[in-house]
A and B are shown apart, each in its own frame.
Chain A
Amino acid sequence: MSALSVPHLLGIKHLTREDIELIFSTADNFSTILNRRIKKVPSLRDITIANIFFENSTRTRISFELAEKRLSADVVNFSASSSSVKKGETLLDTVNNILAMKVDMVVMRHPHVGACDFLAQHIKANVVNAGDGTHEHPTQALLDAFSIRQKYGKLEGMKILILGDIVHSRVALSNIYCLQKLGAKVRLCGPPTLIPKNIESLGVEVSYNVDESLAWCDVVNVLRIQLERQKDSYFPSLREYARYFGLSMERLNKLDKHLTVLHPGPMNRGVEIESKVADHPNHSVILHQVENGVAIRMAVLYLLAANPSD
């Protein structure tokens, strides 16, 4: 197999296991390229990519932009806060205007679930979802799984715990799909108010006991408490959350095994993760995740560019 089964990356849900493995093996090659002095290849030199961000982002946006530039694509950036969206233009009109300037691919982040699917149905360009509402964030899940594979050499049979705010997280859903497709076992843990109802139907375990879950897993992916969505009081206070659900060195020291810690960022130090854990040289692979993000996004863009959408 040497091509993706899809012309767009809308979510991990639509990918096959072979697709994910193809993205990983291609990303391995880009990783080698990113570690040499000249980090640029000319593959996408005749391609123009628009990064359209209707929501704030640091890591994802820089990572996509770097990936595009390392592949020699032409890049245009657009953020909703400084555009005609403020004047009432619809999503489709905005994007069609950008496409009229001959853009081949669109990378979009949008606060609404399904915005990328909608776009993919209406425009002639490859669409990459960089996060849609609380739905999916496929490249994040790919780089998380890639980072675990890098450390352990496999995902089959691994036990992965996703800890924290599941209900508001697009990373969680993409991670569940991605890890399960690669044969890993997934458990979710957090306060009951932050775990969606009926999530078990996806084949994941749910637990409210942090210490017991940490003892079960090989890898823990800590999700951010989304402070901006906390108006509805999902838990009494940040201090209480940190005490009952935060990942601390004390908790890791109680275990009789080594745990690998992931966090998709941005971190709230002292809330869901203690600084000592986040910066721990053996436990934390958080900065490797960021590094791998560029290679994974290069692989996705490279493989999608070979599948023009008509």
Chain B
Amino acid sequence: MAKVLLQGNQFELTLNRLSAQLIENHGDFANTVLIGLQPRGIYLALALQKRLENKLQKTIPTGRLDITFYRDDFRRRDEPILPSALDIKFSIEGKNVVLIDDVFYTGRTVRSGLEAMLAFGRPAKVELLVLVDRRYSRHLPIQADYTGIKVDTRSNEKVKVKWPEIDGEYGVWQLTENESKAKE
């Protein structure tokens, strides 16, 4: 049985805490935008957007960033990764950007995300928000500014985040190698 890291009320509390921390640093979000990393970071971005909009009673610009064409492992994998939709309808020039992803592991996705984001302009400041930090496993010198939970994992283990929009339930699980193989 996969180990539960976050579920139900706790998941909700974590999302509320993250949005409260964002308000603490960004006030009324006058100059701040959210950008979720495709494919799964966008669900966290949307969940936070909903909570922030409820609390602040205003629209928070939220974009979806696809990093497929910026990956550093192209031609080093068996199959190419298919791109997801890219949707950033606002300029990030001079803005404070909160980059959002669900699981933070080697840091390579975030590096690609930073590069992909710069194609949309030069932001004033970029912060990183993640739901799960698999700590001590970074390949690059990148750290998160806001973290939901920190977990210790082995490299052959997987961390799976589920969202109601696509998986029908929500929660975070830690899977061993055998468990993640059995699921596939």
User: How far apart are the CA atoms of A36 and B92 in the complex, in Å?
Assistant: 13
Contact A33:B82 (CB < 8 A) given known A38-B120, A43-B74, A308-B75: no
Q: How far is the CB of B81 from chain A (nearest CB, A)?
A: 7
Q: Is the CB of A33 within 8 A of B75?
A: no
Query: Scoring A residues 16 to 50 as 1 if CB is less than 8 Å from chain B, else 0, what string do you get?
Result: 00000010011001001100111011111011000
Residues of A within 8 A of B120 (CB): 36-38
User: How far apart are the CA atoms of A40 and B69 in the complex, in Å?
Assistant: 10
Is A2 an interface position by the 8 A CB rule?
yes
Complex: chain A residue closest to B93, CB-CB? A37
Partner of B80, one of A46, A47, A302: A302
Is B86 an interface position by the 8 A CB rule?
yes
Determine the interface band of chain A, counting residues with CB < 8 A from chain B.
20 to 34
Contact A306:B75 (CB < 8 A) given known A29-B83, A36-B120: yes
Q: Is the CB of B69 within 8 A of A43?
A: yes
Complex: chain B residue closest to A104, CB-CB? B75
Is A3 an interface position by the 8 A CB rule?
yes
Q: Is the CB of A41 within 8 A of B80?
A: no
Q: Is the CB of B70 within 8 A of A42?
A: yes
Q: How far is the CB of A98 from chain B (nearest CB, A)?
A: 20
Is B79 an interface position by the 8 A CB rule?
yes
Complex: chain A residue closest to B78, CB-CB? A3
Q: Is the CB of B115 within 8 A of A306?
A: no
Q: Is the CB of B80 within 8 A of A2?
A: yes
Contact A42:B75 (CB < 8 A) given known A2-B80, A303-B80, A306-B80: no
Q: Is the CB of A29 within 8 A of B115?
A: no
Residues of B within 8 A of A25 (CB): 82
Partner of B79, one of A3, A32, A42: A3
User: How far apart are the CA atoms of A40 and B70 in the complex, in Å?
Assistant: 10
User: How far apart are the CA atoms of A37 and B68 in the complex, in Å?
Assistant: 18
Is A99 an interface position by the 8 A CB rule?
no
Interface size on B, residues (CB 8 A): 21
Complex: chain A residue closest to B83, CB-CB? A29
Residues of A within 8 A of B119 (CB): 33, 36-38, 40-41
User: How far apart are the CA atoms of A37 and B119 in the complex, in Å?
Assistant: 8
Complex: chain A residue closest to B71, CB-CB? A43
Query: Scoring A residues 297 to 308 as 1 if CB is less than 8 Å from chain B, else 0, what string do you get?
Result: 000001101101
Q: Is the CB of B86 within 8 A of A29?
A: yes
Complex: chain A residue closest to B86, CB-CB? A32
Residues of B within 8 A of A3 (CB): 79-80
Complex: chain A residue closest to B77, CB-CB? A306
Q: Is the CB of B75 within 8 A of A46?
A: yes
Query: Scoring A residues 99 to 118 as 1 if CB is less than 8 Å from chain B, else 0, what string do you get?
Result: 00000000000000000000
Is B66 an interface position by the 8 A CB rule?
yes
User: How far apart are the CA atoms of A47 and B82 in the complex, in Å?
Assistant: 19
Q: How far is the CB of B70 from chain A (nearest CB, A)?
A: 6
Complex: chain B residue closest to A298, CB-CB? B69
Residues of B within 8 A of A37 (CB): 119-121
Partner of A29, one of B66, B70, B77, B121: B66
- Which A31-78 residues sit within 8 Å CB-CB of chain B? 32-33, 36-38, 40-44, 46-47, 71
Q: How far is the CB of A233 from chain B (nearest CB, A)?
A: 50
User: How far apart are the CA atoms of A42 and B71 in the complex, in Å?
Assistant: 8
Complex: chain A residue closest to B70, CB-CB? A42
Residues of A within 8 A of B68 (CB): 29
Residues of B within 8 A of A42 (CB): 69-70, 115
User: How far apart are the CA atoms of A41 and B118 in the complex, in Å?
Assistant: 11
User: How far apart are the CA atoms of A39 and B95 in the complex, in Å?
Assistant: 21
Residues of B within 8 A of A47 (CB): 75
User: How far apart are the CA atoms of A129 and B70 in the complex, in Å?
Assistant: 27
Q: Is the CB of A2 within 8 A of B79?
A: yes
A and B contact pairs by CB, cutoff 8 A, 15 listed: A2-B79, A2-B80, A2-B82, A26-B82, A29-B66, A29-B69, A29-B86, A33-B86, A37-B119, A41-B119, A46-B75, A302-B80, A303-B80, A305-B74, A306-B79
Q: Supply 14 further A-B pairs (C-beta < 8 A) apart from A33-B86, A37-B121, A306-B74.
A: A2-B80, A2-B81, A22-B82, A25-B82, A29-B68, A38-B120, A40-B119, A41-B70, A43-B74, A71-B69, A303-B80, A305-B75, A306-B77, A306-B79
Q: Give the 10 A-B CB pairs with smallest separation, nearest first.
A: A306-B80, A41-B69, A38-B119, A29-B83, A43-B69, A3-B79, A2-B82, A2-B79, A32-B86, A43-B74
